[in-house]
Amino acid sequence: MEYSDTLRRLQEVEFGLVELQFYLDINPEDQRAIHQYNYLSDELHRLKHQYELKHGPLMQYGFSQSPANQWAWVSTPWPWEIEY
């Protein structure tokens, strides 16, 4: 996947998780929604790992490590530089 495609997919999955979390707050017994939430959670972790291997860290404050011997935060476009 290209840089912007991977980032777009991450945003889609995160949006789906937020919406499912709201839904599950009201419908905590919905097994289908719980299954879908868990599936998207796994997908989000997979996509983040895939993205970080190819493009560098996504999250700051120690949640994402920088590759050895380089500071990777300056190697990817700033959010306003991304073209979708």
Question: Which band of pLDDT confidence, cut at 50, 70 and 90, is reported for residue 36?
Answer: very high
Tens of pLDDT, residues 51-68: 888 877 776 655 555 565
Alpha-carbon distances, residue 60 vs 1, 9, 64 (angstroms)? 23, 20, 6
Measured distance CA(84)–CA(60) in Å, rounded: 23
Q: Are 21 and 37 in contact (CB under 8 A)?
A: yes
Whether pTM exceeds 0.75: no
